[in-house]
């Protein structure tokens, strides 16, 4: 009979492993911008065309009056970059950006130097010039166009919609529309899937609009009312994942279009802020940390049941994938160095799920245990290596070179642990409780 304590633990603590060095973020655009610029937004149009919107890290939420947003563009998959300075919007920064084609893009901007003005702007000449299409309370945070004519701008508690390509806008209050006080949108927590808008809240809920922002419904993701849902990503209209940012990153998944959510619990790593579904996969998502220490990037190939830590230490802003082998991320925080990377390109094969197919779940016994743990493996075999991790991802035990199939765990404090062991061609994973 399986221990009910272990069963509960398996639900609350997904397994994670550390990626080999073949999966990593490759630095790009080094030294192209002033040393204190970050790339908050990255958008991939196709394999060759990538844009990033960059601005200076604000000091005390203010920017100098001569501050300029800068756009990084490549037409050859990052081999060469063009830098465009948006001199007509000095003092502004941007939290959201939508690339339509090689020439056309929409951007939300806000003045942090003088007026605190908020605007929606548009370019039709590849970013060389920009025109103000809307200025008002709903601008400045998040905007999205569903087609050539229909678009929405949201900045709590206001919403504006357009049906004529941004020539005119209809504004309203989100409080009047939804009768809900849970809005606190950030650009990273808004996503559109087949014209359905999703947004996170600071009280453990997600909002859903089926009519392009006109009306909303809210759903509890099961992470508690104190969880701030900082990011949402959907594979399709039915299957998605929400990230509740806290000291330990928490995730919750849905397979019925957000009506019900299943919390996955602590992930084993901390301070994730972004979440992105990787198109062309069964259930692969990438998450990245933006601020604080330690920061990680990690991915799952099975909708959050298991996580692989790809990198540690770097901070990432916006992330975007269009295929398992085509992904880019921006820098979220740059230390005081002269030549820091502004952008990162994903390199590796881990997102194709081939790694996870070689990770097999198995049994360990007795479980719970107070001193000895037996590892069950194929008859006549012993594991080449054994590693044990605590509930926050720290490695607390490791042995290699024909390790025995029985290990002493009496030295471990009471608690729940992750176990990884196996041979070079097969990796096994299990959980156990030390009492």
pLDDT tens digits, 161-205: 999 999 999 988 766 665 554 444 455 678 888 889 998 887 888
* pLDDT for residue 327 is more than 60: yes
Domain boundary among 298, 329, 354: 354
Domain boundary among 302, 327, 354: 354
- Is 402 domain-assigned? yes
Tokens of 279: 């198109």
The CATH number of residue 137's host domain is 2.130.10.10
Which of these, 200, 181, 194, lies nearest to 144 by C-alpha position?
A: 194
When divided into structural domains, the chain yields a total of 2
- Is 74 domain-assigned? yes
Range with the lowest mean pLDDT among 58-72, 202-216, 276-290? 58-72
Q: Is the dihedral of CA 52, 56, 62, 67 positive or negative?
A: negative
- Asked if 104 and 123 count as a contact pair (C-beta separation under 8 A), the reply is yes
d(CA 48, CA 166): 28
Which of these, 46, 25, 26, lies nearest to 286 by C-alpha position?
A: 25
Range with the lowest mean pLDDT among 125-129, 163-167, 287-291? 287-291
Longest dimension (CA), the chain: 74
d(CA 205, CA 257): 14
**Statement to judge: residues 97 and 110 lie in one domain:** yes
Q: Give the list of residues 6+ apart from residue 309 with CB closer than 8 angstroms, or none.
A: 16, 17, 18, 19, 269, 296, 297, 298, 393
* Top-confidence residue, 292 or 300: 300
Domain boundary among 336, 354, 372: 354
Provide Rg for the chain, Cα atoms.
Answer: 23
User: What integer is the mean pLDDT of 111-130?
Assistant: 89
Tokens of 32: 């192209």
**Statement to judge: residues 23 and 159 lie in one domain:** yes
Q: Is the dihedral of CA 180, 184, 188, 189 positive or negative?
A: negative
**Statement to judge: residues 214 and 240 lie in one domain:** yes
* pLDDT for residue 331 is more than 50: yes
pLDDT tens digits, 356-377: 444 455 678 898 899 998 887 6
Q: Which of 58-62, 100-104, 380-384 has the highest mean predicted lDDT (pLDDT)?
A: 100-104
- Asked if 286 and 321 count as a contact pair (C-beta separation under 8 A), the reply is yes
d(CA 381, CA 39): 50
Question: Which residues form the domain of 405?
Answer: 359-434
Where on the phi/psi map is residue 154: left (φ > 0), alpha (ψ -120 to 50), or beta? beta
- Is 323 domain-assigned? yes
d(CA 253, CA 261): 5
- Give, for 397, the enclosing helix (H) or strand (E): strand 395-400
pLDDT for position 426: 65
- Asked if 191 and 232 count as a contact pair (C-beta separation under 8 A), the reply is yes
User: What integer is the mean pLDDT of 11-32?
Assistant: 65
């Amino acid at each position: 009979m399986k221990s009910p304590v272990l069963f509960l633990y398996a639900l609350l603590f997904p397994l994670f492993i550390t990626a080999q060095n073949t999966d990593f973020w490759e630095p790009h655009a080094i030294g192209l911008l002033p040393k204190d610029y970050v790339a908050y937004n990255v958008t991939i149009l196709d394999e060759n065309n990538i844009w990033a919107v960059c601005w200076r890290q604000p000091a005390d939420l203010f920017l100098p009056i001569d501050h300029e947003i800068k756009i990084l563009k490549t037409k050859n998959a990052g081999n060469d970059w063009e830098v465009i300075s948006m001199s007509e919007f000095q003092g502004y920064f941007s939290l959201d950006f939508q690339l339509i084609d090689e020439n056309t893009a929409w951007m939300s901007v806000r003045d942090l130097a003088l007026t605190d003005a908020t605007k929606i702007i548009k370019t039709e000449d590849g970013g060389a010039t920009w025109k103000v299409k809307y200025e008002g309370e709903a601008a400045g945070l998040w905007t999205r166009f569903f087609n050539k004519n229909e678009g929405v701008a949201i900045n709590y508690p206001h919403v504006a919609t357009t049906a004529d390509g941004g020539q005119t806008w209809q504004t309203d209050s989100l409080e009047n529309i939804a009768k809900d006080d849970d809005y606190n949108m950030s650009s990273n927590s808004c996503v559109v899937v087949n014209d359905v808008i999703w947004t996170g809240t600071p009280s453990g809920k997600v909002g859903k609009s089926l009519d392009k922002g006109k009306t909303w419904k809210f759903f509890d993701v099961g992470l508690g009312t104190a969880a701030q849902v900082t990011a949402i990503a959907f594979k399709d209209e039915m299957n998605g994942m929400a990230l509740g940012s806290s000291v330990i990153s928490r995730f919750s998944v849905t397979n019925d279009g957000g009506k019900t959510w299943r919390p996955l619990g602590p992930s084993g790593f901390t301070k994730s802020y972004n979440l992105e579904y990787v198109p062309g996969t069964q259930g692969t998502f990438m998450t990245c940390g933006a601020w604080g220490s330690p920061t990680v990037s990690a991915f799952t190939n099975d909708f959050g049941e298991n996580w692989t830590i790809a990198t540690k230490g770097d901070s990432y802003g916006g992330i975007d994938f269009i295929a398992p082998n085509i992904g880019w991320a921006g820098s979220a925080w740059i230390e005081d160095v002269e030549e820091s990377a502004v952008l990162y390109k994903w390199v590796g094969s881990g997102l194709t799920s081939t790694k996870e197919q070689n990770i097999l779940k198995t049994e360990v016994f007795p479980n719970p245990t107070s001193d000895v743990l037996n590892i069950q493996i194929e008859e006549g075999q012993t594991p080449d290596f054994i590693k044990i991790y605590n509930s926050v991802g720290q490695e607390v035990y490791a042995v290699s070179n024909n390790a025995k199939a029985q290990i002493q765990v009496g030295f471990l404090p009471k608690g729940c642990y992750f176990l990884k062991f196996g041979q070079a061609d097969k990796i096994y994973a299990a959980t156990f409780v030390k009492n």
